[in-house]
Each structure stands twice: as C-alpha cells, then as structure tokens.
C-alpha cells in the first residue's frame, strides 16, 4: 500500500476515535459532600471569643482531627500574606471554626491542643500552613499528617507519580467517597469578615471534616500493606517554623518513602509549533461570501481614508536683481546683470561666513 494511503487511513482512524470519545456520554455529576450527612447529631461551633475557644479545645484529649487554616487573600503581587484568620478542627462529633482574627488573643488551650503529640492533625499539603501558623502566632505543631503522602503510602496502586507531588483533598474525596467537594469563590473570600457568612462556615466545616474522614479511611488501609509504612513517611512536627521527624527537634523531615513505586514516567509533551495554524472548518459558498464581505467591511472601517498626495511644486533658485557698481565692471562689459540669489551669495561669501570683499 502506498505511503500516502496509509497516512490517510491512520488519520481517518484517529478522527473516528476522537469522535467516539466526544460522543461518549459524560458520567453523571457526583453528589456534593456535606459533613452533616455523616452525623446528624454533630455540632458546628463557630467561635470568636478566646475564652469559649479554650473551653471547647479542653474537651478534646485524644483521637484524630481534620485540620485546615484560612486567611484573607492578597490581591496585589508582592504584598505579604495576611495572618491566619481561621483555624478549622473536626472529628466525628464536632466541627470547630475558631476565628482567631476576631479574638483579642490566641487561645492558650488551642496552642496546647495543636502541640499535643497524642492527637493527629491531618490535612492535604499542610506543611506550609503549619509553618505559617508558627510565623503568625508562634504555634508549635506535633503529629501532623500529610494526607497526600499517606494516600501514596497505603494505596500505591491508585496513586502514581512523584511521592512529594500533592494530591488535592477534593480528589481524595471523589476517589474514596464518590462525592464532590466544591471549592468555588468562597475559598478566596475574606476570612477576616466578622461574622463569617453561612456559606463560608459551611465550606470551612466541609474542608476540615473531609480531612478527618480521609484520614480514618486511609489509616485503616495501612494494616493491609506489606511492608507496613512507617509513620515518618507521612507524619512530621513543626518547631521554629521548620519541619522535623515526629518526636525530634534535630532531624529534618522530608516527604520520602523508599518502598513507594512512582510507576513509569509519563511520555514527554510534544512541543507545538506556534506558527502552525489550526485548520478552519469548511463553509459553504454563501457563508464564505458573507464572511469575506464582513472581513472587507471591517478592514475598510479600520483603514484611514486614502488621500492622493499633491504634486510637489518645482522649486529652483530664487532669482533676484543684483546691481553691480560701475567700478566693478567685468571684462565682459556687464554694467548690471541679474543673477540667481544662491549664486550671488556663493560669490559674495567666504568660508568663514563673511564677504570676501566689496562687490
């Protein structure tokens, strides 16, 4: 078979496959995630007073917590970030929304709770959040779990790629709960607003609660993995704004797991030629003619009116009458004559700009 014919058949096959994929029905949207569906008797406590925050935090003495932070975004490039405005904690029974930006002081029992090594604080990619909380309020955190590293450690078959590559919380929820964790514009809203809107409170509660739920789901898989992943693969402490191995203040922590299989490398992306233009879909004769007229009209409207350039006037040396004194008669016997002004100036001026002599 000739080569052009083979290329034509391959191109036709690719077009058919692409058309089949486009015609393939999209999966139905996932139902939205809501913390209320897990426990109808659960409490949502929104707190703006440090004394009430101390009271609620003192009731949590063990177990695991979903952990997240929010702060007011900055909209100007180069400006420093605003301080942490909201601390979110959640477990099976309660969701605490602690708006520290509205409090006169940072709650002491909240500091003690976050520093407790017996209580897990779990979230996705929370390393920066923990560092920021120390920088803003001097809080030391212990027993922090990165859900991305935990998921790659206990479910390596599901997650491939670099071990330190973050996995979004919404992806974890859609994978293990078959539900959608919407983000939307609320994520970039003003978290220093006092009080927070119901939409902000619901968003913050779902974020913290889903983090707790994902931890309970994933940590249950750890017992099914051989060899069982070590805690240091996904757990860290934060002291003085730095990450350390759990229980240590001298061994720096980094997301590593020697037993993790990243899988095959993805194929390199093909570089697109910028000069290559996308083919335009064919149009019938009437549409093509109408389109050509529209383009021509647009060009005429944008183009300035054409002006015929005027014919330049012919210019020559200025003619002037120069009277020559009688005593300066030339040998040709010219008593007076008319010479061009430029020529007269040339004769009368020297190199220095002055006249050579009397005419």
pLDDT in tens, 52-108: 999 999 999 999 999 999 999 998 888 999 999 999 999 999 999 999 999 999 999
Instruction: Give a yes or no: residue 287 inside a domain.
Output: no
Name the 3-class secondary structure at 38: coil
Name the 3-class secondary structure at 338: strand
HSE on the CB side for 239, CA within 13 Å? 17
Rounded Cα distance, 90 and 207, in Å: 9
**Rounded to 5°, angle at Cα 236 from 233 and 240:** 150
Strands 84-90 and 94-98: antiparallel
DSSP run (H or E) holding 307: none
Instruction: Please answer whether residues 129 and 145 qualify as being in contact, where contact means their C-beta atoms are separated by less than 8 angstroms.
Output: no
Confidence of residue 296 (pLDDT cuts 50, 70, 90): confident
Instruction: Give a yes or no: residue 235 inside a domain.
Output: yes
Instruction: Please answer whether residues 101 and 83 qualify as being in contact, where contact means their C-beta atoms are separated by less than 8 angstroms.
Output: yes
Instruction: Give a yes or no: residue 170 inside a domain.
Output: yes
How many other β-carbons are positioned within 10 Å of the β-carbon of residue 90? 28
Instruction: Give a yes or no: residue 140 inside a domain.
Output: yes
**Rounded to 5°, angle at Cα 265 from 263 and 270:** 150
- Answer yes or no: is pLDDT of 358 > 50: no
Pick the range with the lowest mean pLDDT from 34-48, 67-81, 148-162, 310-324.
Answer: 310-324
Q: Give the mean pLDDT of the chain.
A: 84
Beta strands per DSSP E along 125-218: 141-146
pLDDT in tens, 124-145: 999 999 999 999 999 999 999 9
Confidence of residue 348 (pLDDT cuts 50, 70, 90): very low
Rounded Cα distance, 51 and 61, in Å: 18
Closest CA to 156 of 224, 76, 244: 224
Could you list the residue range(s) of the whole structural domain that residue 214 is in?
35-244
Instruction: Please answer whether residues 114 and 59 qualify as being in contact, where contact means their C-beta atoms are separated by less than 8 angstroms.
Output: no
Pick the range with the lowest mean pLDDT from 7-11, 316-320, 324-328, 332-336.
Answer: 332-336
HSE on the CB side for 43, CA within 13 Å? 7
φ, ψ for residue 64 (rounded to 5)? Answer: -130, 155
Q: What is the DSSP letter of 303?
A: S
Pick the range with the lowest mean pLDDT from 112-116, 165-169, 243-247, 334-338.
Answer: 334-338
pLDDT in tens, 137-184: 999 999 999 999 999 999 999 999 999 999 999 999 999 999 999 888
DSSP run (H or E) holding 266: none
pLDDT value of residue 267: 75
- Answer yes or no: is pLDDT of 288 > 60: yes
Look at the chain and report how many structural domains it folds into: 1
Strands 84-90 and 63-71: antiparallel
Instruction: Give a yes or no: residue 240 inside a domain.
Output: yes
Name the 3-class secondary structure at 135: helix
φ, ψ for residue 352 (rounded to 5)? Answer: -85, 0
Rounded Cα distance, 192 and 131, in Å: 20
Instruction: Give a yes or no: residue 209 inside a domain.
Output: yes
CA end-to-end distance (rounded Å), the chain: 99
Instruction: Give a yes or no: residue 354 inside a domain.
Output: no
Instruction: Give a yes or no: residue 205 inside a domain.
Output: yes
- Report the interhelical angle of 169-176 vs 198-221 (nearest 10°): 60
Number of H helices, E strands in the chain: 9, 10
CATH number for position 119: 3.30.420.10
Instruction: Please answer whether residues 130 and 222 qualify as being in contact, where contact means their C-beta atoms are separated by less than 8 angstroms.
Output: no
């Amino acid at each position: 078979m000739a080569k052009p014919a083979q290329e034509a058949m391959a191109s036709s096959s690719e077009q058919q496959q692409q058309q089949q994929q486009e015609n393939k029905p999209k999966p139905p949207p996932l139902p939205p995630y809501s913390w209320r569906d897990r426990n109808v008797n659960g409490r949502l406590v929104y707190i703006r007073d440090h004394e009430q925050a101390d009271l609620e935090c003192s009731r949590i003495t063990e177990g695991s917590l979903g952990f997240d932070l929010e702060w007011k975004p900055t909209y100007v490039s180069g400006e420093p970030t605003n301080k942490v405005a909201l601390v979110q904690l959640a477990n099976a029974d309660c969701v605490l929304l602690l708006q520290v930006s509205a409090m006169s002081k940072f709650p002491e029992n909240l500091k003690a709770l976050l520093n407790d090594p017996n209580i897990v604080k779990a979230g996705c990619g929370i390393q920066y959040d923990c560092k920021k909380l120390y920088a803003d309020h001097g809080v030391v955190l212990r027993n922090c779990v990165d859900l991305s590293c935990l998921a790659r450690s206990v479910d390596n078959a599901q997650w491939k790629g670099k071990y330190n590559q973050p996995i979004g919380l919404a992806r974890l929820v859609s994978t293990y709960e078959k539900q959608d964790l919407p983000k939307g514009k609320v994520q970039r809203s003003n978290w220093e607003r006092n009080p927070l809107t119901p939409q902000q409170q619901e968003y913050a509660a779902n974020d913290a609660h889903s983090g707790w739920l994902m931890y309970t789901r994933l940590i249950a898989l750890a017992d099914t993995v051989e060899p069982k992943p070590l805690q240091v693969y996904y757990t860290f402490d934060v002291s003085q704004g730095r990450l350390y191995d759990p229980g240590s203040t001298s061994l720096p922590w980094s997301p590593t797991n020697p037993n993790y299989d990243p899988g095959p490398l993805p194929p390199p992306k093909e570089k697109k030629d910028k000069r290559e233009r996308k083919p335009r879909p064919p149009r019938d004769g009437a549409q093509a003619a109408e389109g050509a007229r529209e383009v021509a009209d647009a060009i005429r409207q944008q183009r300035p009116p054409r002006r015929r350039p005027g014919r330049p006037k012919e210019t020559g040396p200025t003619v002037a009458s120069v009277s020559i004194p009688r005593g300066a008669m030339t040998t040709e016997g010219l008593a007076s004559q008319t010479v061009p002004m430029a020529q007269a100036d040339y004769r009368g001026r020297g190199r220095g700009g002055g006249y050579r002599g009397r005419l």
